[in-house]
Amino acid sequence: MPGFNATRLERIGGWMQSYVDRKRFAGASVLIAQGGKEVYYHDCGLRDVAQAAPWQRDTVARIYSMTKPVTSVALMMLAEKGLFHLDAPVSDFIPSFGEMTCLVEGATALDQVVPCETPTLHQLLTHTSGLSYAFNPGVLGQAMTDQKIEFHGDRETLAQACDRAAALPLAFAPGARWNYSIGIDVIGRVIEVASGKALEQFLVDEIFDPLGMDETRFSVPAQARDRFAACYTPLAGNAFSTGKVEKAEDSLRLIDGSDKSPFLKTELHSGGGGLVGTIDDYLKFTEMMRTGGAGVIGPKTLAFMMRNHLGSDIASMGPDSFAEQAMEGTGFGIGGAVLLDPARARALGSVGDFSWGGMASTCFWIDPVFDLSVIFFTQLIPSSSYPARPQLRALVHGAMT
């Protein structure tokens, strides 16, 4: 098994500091483990610019869509108990999805629809359900924006949010395309129905407590409030926009402070993007996945999750949505991306890498060839602002001997 060149590893710290010096990131941390042993950690910058508070190892950050693999593991834990099959329609758990329609090809209005099948649990997990996100282009994305179907905030319960999403047509017939979506938020509600527990309670009982992830929750733990990071954007308009928008004069414009954030007390638990936590907590989760379940979930189930569940790569399925990383040469498993061809993805890595990221520019990947877990934390929205993820991959692989 190749190791690491210490001098080359130190390049990572310089690269991170350059992002801080240029006011691209307020602060950041990276953690690399190989074979379960830490080989590199570095942090720099500030977790809160106004308070001049340093970014440290125990900083609590919003991980947004890095919540998705956690929720996906939870669903598969229930599947292991024989409670359902992945081809089950979601309407078995959420009846409002029983009578579905989808937009016709090229639709310009919300009423241009035809009847279609109900999405399955597998399609929700793999973003092939026909659901969307409010920030995605098209008729459905605009309708979600207008109706504020966002799966965050405390205006409604998770059950109510799912029912409102079910009232809209799908962007396409389930299984026809790949489209980044609220599908795993809906899976969060499926977990509640199937388990009889609130989503957070199920995660605490079945994943967080067994793994010792004591500071990963949907609300910032009381003991960690003085370590919660602020979140920034370089954009002048909507920070959650993934299109071309005007840059702000301040490249670190505050959009969610550490003292007044909705994450300090969250009622609606977003299984697709609602968790906060520390970098060491997330390492416990990635190491559980890398090593075969740690008694939390079966190794065969994890191997199944970390395979490509699409016919080819994401790009072959005609997506017009945002994604957290390259679509060419990248497939998708249960809750995360699977690297199929590093050359086509134009990013260093091993075939079979399992990964994903979050809207605030966090990311992780698990390399089964070199027994790696790599986690990067920062707090900048949107994650498409800078090419930090492929740059970090190049730095990590460039340091290997």
Residue 3 tokens read as 């190791």
How many distinct structural domains can be found in the chain? Answer: 2
**Residue 303 falls inside a structural domain:** yes
Do 38 and 109 lie in one domain? The reply is no
Element (H, E) at 375: strand 372-377
Write down the pTM of the prediction.
0.95
Do 367 and 225 lie in one domain? The reply is yes
CATH number at residue 367: 3.40.710.10
pLDDT band at 248 (very low <50, low <70, confident <90, very high): confident
Contact 85, 78 (CB under 8 A): no
Do 242 and 327 lie in one domain? The reply is yes
Do 336 and 384 lie in one domain? The reply is yes
User: What pLDDT, on the 0 to 100 scale, is given for residue 229?
Assistant: 98
User: What pLDDT, on the 0 to 100 scale, is given for residue 146?
Assistant: 95
**Residue 209 falls inside a structural domain:** no
Structural domain boundaries, residue 306: 6-66+217-398
Distance CA 308, CA 330 (A): 9
DSSP for residue 203: H
Do 46 and 88 lie in one domain? The reply is no
Backbone angles phi, psi at 237, to 5 degrees: -100, -135
* pLDDT tens digits, 73-108: 999 999 999 999 999 999 999 999 999 999 999 999
Q: Strand, coil or helix: what is 54?
A: strand
Torsion of CA 352, 131, 129, 167, to 10 degrees: 160
Residue ranges in 81-153 assigned as alpha helix (H):
121-125, 139-146
Do 228 and 362 lie in one domain? The reply is yes
**Residue 394 falls inside a structural domain:** yes
Do 228 and 302 lie in one domain? The reply is yes
**Residue 132 falls inside a structural domain:** yes
**Residue 201 falls inside a structural domain:** no
**Residue 359 falls inside a structural domain:** yes
Do 312 and 232 lie in one domain? The reply is yes
